[in-house]
Amino acid sequence: MAKRVVARLKVTTGKEFAKIIRMERSPKTGAYQFNENFIATDQIKDFLAKK
């Protein structure tokens, strides 16, 4: 399960970035952990599609 933060991080020169927060299950304990990544907006769909 992943969600995209509504506020995007804008850079005046260059690409726009978004903060992606993905909830994943830990293989060791089985507990959930949250991973945060900054991704270019044109790569969001590809990043969320892969597991």
Residues 48 and 20: beta-carbon distance below 8 Å: yes
**Per-residue model confidence as pLDDT tens digits over 28-48:** 999 999 989 888 888 888 888
| CA 21 – CA 4 distance, rounded (Å) | 7
Three-state DSSP class for residue 49:
helix
Domain ranges for the chain: 2-49
Per-residue confidence at 49, pLDDT binned at 50, 70, 90? confident
Contacts with 23 (C-beta within 8 Å, 6 or more apart), sequence order: 1, 2, 32, 33, 34, 35
Q: pTM higher than 0.75, yes or no?
A: no
| Dihedral sign (CA 30, 32, 37, 42) | positive
Average pLDDT in the 8-32 region? 80
